[in-house]
Amino acid sequence: MRGKPTLRDVAARAGCSITTVSNILQGRSHLYREDMVEQVLRAGHELGYRPNSVARSLARRRTATIGVVLDPQHARLTHNLYAHDVLDGILAFLEPRDYDIRLITPRTNDPAAVWRRIDNGSIDGAVLIAPVMGSPLLEWRCYSRLPVVAVGSTLPDEYGVSCIDIDNETAMATLTEWVIQQGHRAIGFIKGHPLHWSAHQRERAFRRTMALYNLPVREEWMLQGDYSPESGVRAAEQLLRQSELPTVVLAANDDMAMGFLQHCRTLEIAVPDRISVAGFDDSVWVQRMGIPLTTIHHDRYQVGYLAAQRLLHQIETGDAHPQRTLINGVLVVRQSVAMGYALASATTPQPTYSTEGGSRS
Amino acid sequence: MRGKPTLRDVAARAGCSITTVSNILQGRSHLYREDMVEQVLRAGHELGYRPNSVARSLARRRTATIGVVLDPQHARLTHNLYAHDVLDGILAFLEPRDYDIRLITPRTNDPAAVWRRIDNGSIDGAVLIAPVMGSPLLEWRCYSRLPVVAVGSTLPDEYGVSCIDIDNETAMATLTEWVIQQGHRAIGFIKGHPLHWSAHQRERAFRRTMALYNLPVREEWMLQGDYSPESGVRAAEQLLRQSELPTVVLAANDDMAMGFLQHCRTLEIAVPDRISVAGFDDSVWVQRMGIPLTTIHHDRYQVGYLAAQRLLHQIETGDAHPQRTLINGVLVVRQSVAMGYALASATTPQPTYSTEGGSRS
DNA sequence: GACTCGCGTGGAAACGCTTCCATAACCAAC
DNA sequence: GTTGGTTATGGAAGCGTTTCCACGCGAGTC
């Protein structure tokens, strides 16, 4: 016996067949006499036998591994804190079930090549992290029948992919509504990256809520961003040189809100005294820096956890029904938005307003 | 043919043997006539054949996968920015070589169980992320002959593990020296987590450098921390209520330095006017928050890149020689340390001082 | 015309495991 | 003594590749 011991070696040492060893080592020892069981276990232990998981996967046609796939768009993991949080949730669900994770970071936009990397028998299913519009990851059906769950993007139904994500529309509506109820009427908006569905969903909810309150959306206050802090700075530059300013700006994510805040600091514009700012995501950066940014929080860990759960369900039952799970965002009120602003004028009729998701820190 | 097409299916369609298909698909087409090659490629393409990587791994006895193993101590990935940066470097090296990554997060301290998870044939080698003292990961030799490289911990030779890490001692010596050259004489220190080798290395370098300059190390200014921001706060509490204070405090990492800074802000103690602070790591948090913390920077991405390189070398050549690679830290001078402090008294003889690692941001 | 040689191709044995099914031995029942 | 039913164990066929080696054949050499 050279190299790592195999079933054969254990069987030889225990004086039985490999079937017997295999069965006993898989916990089917009730089939055998006690002394046999004991002999086999002892032999295995003495040899330091460890089942070869590759061979096992081949025989079982299951790898007990799931892939976590980053979109080629943001293939760099660094500072992708969203992926981290989600990954933690996935791990939490997977570990007790003895599943492992394979990290896949395609670096091309050719869907055939991407799916060759993903669906080559090495994983039982995949979690797609925040696929964007036009991503090769979404050319899924042509190339693969692998169970798949997407997180961080609420995909339109036609993609036929299960997704787990924050309920962007409801959350942004909640935030907008809350801002309005604080008395704000002149509201600006920094849009997210146009390739992200979330950007459109957040913008749409904003516009709808404004309409609901009969408030005008002024297009010169709708700034195009791309979810990066720098684009928040640019938005601030563009907005703050206008003669007429909104009293509050909603950024489609925290990063842009922070860029905006930064530029305000540069210009020595007091927040929230001269202008209010709100974000979206309750990013870890904001939390950790202790920036008092009013924003929407959601449990990214839970997103990962649910994704893993859903994926395993799909794998085990073969159920391929795409299913959308939206989790609630929670309004986190901090100090970046002036409250009770111009209350006198806040006499718009009260709409039905879900009290859920109230402030907490 | 049900399920995914296999070599057999392709061979049947191309009217040849599976050997032929296998050879051609592996690029050994020079062995065959052109028309054969073309037929096989066409058949493969038409069937959408993708080699099963599990079967391939079994036959080749190589998985083309390396494991990235987190220490059970910090099995949560979240906010482990170090792991992120390193992972990115690893990925950068591995991707062009068609290696994949398996993420392994053991959750127990039983070394046998841990190594069963790691060395079960599913990976060709492992990168251990910052193993701490007493980690089951380091009980390596008893359980496995897998090629292994550690990063983020400079392990003592007896572990027989290759490691790639910042040169903690040199970097901390550089920092200490620089602080002394700014005129500081009364210097405090916040120690890192006692289970991390780096903590001891950094402390040792500090003490040695102080001795080199004949400066006393006052034990009441040596605060015990654990690398967390909170422990930096506690250290500040402990230090700042003393009647006599150092003019500068070196924290063994940036997180603790930030905790320290935070407490200074709470107490309205001006930095660096009333007390100076330096960190170590140039953590992404500090960078991103724009905190003007003087610190030591090193290229964590490069650490990952080198680790992957080294690991692949070990895998491919079978070379098991443990080899230590220390990369240079770079002093980053920002504004948290008062410079030219009490220059009048700074008349200690100039030591040999490497000018490398000058300030940059 | 027997010999070698290279070329193109295929057979078949691994790789290490799982699992279906057969077998053998034993006992009880008729 | 045949049957039937347990119980304990082993044989062997996969799983989908890779790879070593052998085979048949036509061309070149003596």
Q: What is the 3-state secondary structure (H, E, C) of A247-308?
A: CEEEECCHHHHHHHHHHHHHCCCCCCCCCEEECCECCHHHHHHCCCCEEEECCHHHHHHHHH
Which residue has 């804190």 as its token pair?
A81
To which residue do tokens 């992972």 refer?
B87
Q: Which residues of B touch A123 (CB under 8 A)?
A: none
Return the pLDDT at A354: 35
Q: Alpha helix (H) ranges present in A61-167? A: 81-94, 111-118, 140-143
Q: Which of residues 235-254 of A touch strand C (CB under 7 A)?
A: none
Does strand C come within 7 Å of the CB of A31? no
Inter-chain touch A91–B79, beta carbons under 8 Å: no
Quote the pLDDT of residue B90. Answer: 96
Q: In this structure, is the CB of residue B26 within 7 Å of any atom belonging to strand D?
A: yes
Mean pLDDT of B252-268: 94
Task: Give CA–CA dist A196/B137, Å, rounded.
Answer: 40
Determine the pLDDT at residue A123: 97
Share of chain B above pLDDT 90, in %: 80
Q: Which nucleotide is nearest to A11 (CA to C1')?
A: D10
Contact status, residue A280 vs residue A252, Cβ threshold 8 Å: yes
Question: How many CB contacts within 8 angstroms connect chain A with chain B?
Answer: 113
Identify the pLDDT of residue A78. 55
pLDDT value of position A174 = 97
Residue B208 has pLDDT above 50, yes or no: yes
**From the Cβ of B247, is strand C under 7 Å away?**
no
B86 interaction partners in chain A (CB closer than 8 Å) = none
Q: Please give, rounded to a whole number of angstroms, the shortest distance from the CA of B299 to a CA of chain A.
A: 13
Strand D: which positions are within 7 A of a protein CB? 8-12, 14-20
Structure tokens at B233: 């706060």
pLDDT of A358 higher than 50: no
Q: Residue B99: which of B129, B68, B66, B77 has the closest Cα?
A: B66
Closest CA to B327 of B285, B299, B358: B299
Residue in chain B lying closest to A82 (CA): B78
pLDDT at A345 over 50: no
Partner-chain residue, chosen from B54, B76, B143, that has the shortest CB–CB distance to A88: B76
| Whether the predicted pLDDT of A64 surpasses 80 | yes
pLDDT band at B1 (very low <50, low <70, confident <90, very high): low
| Choice between A82 and B235, residue whose per-residue pLDDT is larger | B235
pLDDT of residue A343: 52
- A261-310: pLDDT as tens digits: 999 999 999 989 999 999 999 998 888 878 899 999 999 999 999 999 99
Closest alpha carbon within chain A to B288 = A285
The region of weakest confidence among A295-309, A336-350, B13-27, B38-52 is A336-350
B75 touches strand C (CB under 7 A): no
- Does at least one atom of strand C sit less than 7 Å from the CB of A77? no
Residue B123 confidence class, pLDDT cut points 50, 70, 90 = very high
Question: Which nucleotide across the nucleic acid strands is nearest to A33, CA versus C1'?
Answer: D8
Q: Which of A52-66, B132-146, B295-309 has the lowest mean pLDDT?
A: B132-146
Q: Cα–Cα distance between B29 and B26 in angstroms, integer?
A: 8
Which stretch of DSSP H or E encloses residue A188? strand A187-191
The pLDDT of residue B231 is: 95
A57 touches strand C (CB under 7 A): no
User: Taking CB atoms and an 8 Å limit, are A285 and B284 in contact across chains?
Assistant: no
Among the partner-chain residues B50, B76, B84, the one whose CB lies closest to the CB of A120 is: B50
Best A50, A86, A141 member to test B by mutation, with max B CBs in 10 Å, is A50
Amino acid occupying residue A31 = L
Decide if B77 and A91 are in contact by the 8 Å CB cutoff. yes
Q: What DSSP string describes B55-100?
A: HHHHHHT--SEEEEEE-GGG---TT-HHHHHHHHHHHHHHGGGT-E
- pLDDT (average), residues B125-135: 94
Counting residues of chain A whose pLDDT is more than 90, the rounded percentage is: 80
Residues in chain A with CB shorter than 8 Å from the CB of B51 are: 120
* pLDDT for position B357: 36
What pLDDT does residue B77 have? 58
Which of B53, B83, B90, B78 is closest to B310 using CA atoms?
Answer: B90
Sign of the CA dihedral A90, A91, A92, A97? Answer: positive
CB-closest option in A68, A104, A119 to B50: A119
Q: What one-letter code names the amino acid at A324?
A: R
Query: Measured between alpha carbons, how far is A118 from A145 in angstroms, rounded to an integer?
Result: 11
- Integer Cα distance of B302 and B326 in angstroms: 11
Domains of chain A, each with CATH number or no CATH: 7-51 (no CATH), 65-167+302-327 (3.40.50.2300), 168-297+330-345 (3.40.50.2300)
Tell me what the mean pLDDT of segment A151-170 comes to: 95
Residues 52-81 of A with CB under 7 A from strand D: 55, 58-59, 61
Instruction: Please judge whether A52 and B120 are an interchain contact, meaning their C-beta atoms are less than 8 angstroms apart.
Output: yes
For residue B150, what are the CA distances in angstroms to A69, A108, A300, B154? 25, 30, 30, 8
Cβ-nearest to B88 among A76, A117, A285: A76
Q: How far is B243 from chain A (nearest CA, A)?
A: 30
B19 sits within 7 Å of strand C by its CB = yes
**Mean pLDDT of all residues in B245-250:** 97
> Can you tell me the mean pLDDT for A186-201?
96
CA distances to A284, B223, B251, B260, B263 from B282, in Å = 18, 21, 12, 15, 20
Give the count of beta carbons closer than 10 Å to the beta carbon of residue A216. Answer: 11
Of A288, A246, A251, whose CA–CA distance to A175 is shortest? Answer: A251
Whole-number pLDDT of residue A1: 57
Is A359 a residue whose pLDDT tops 80? no
pLDDT of residue A286: 86
Give strand letter and number of the nucleotide nearest A56 (CA to C1').
C17
Query: Could B285 and A288 be called an inter-chain contact, meaning their C-beta atoms sit closer than 8 Å?
Result: yes
- With a cut of 80, say whether residue A226 has pLDDT above it: yes
State the average pLDDT over residues A198-217: 97
The predicted model gives B307-319 an average pLDDT of: 94
Answer yes or no: are the C-beta atoms of B190 and B235 closer than 8 Å: yes
Q: Is the CB of B143 under 7 A from strand C?
A: no
- B354 has a pLDDT exceeding 50: no
Polymer length of chain A: 361
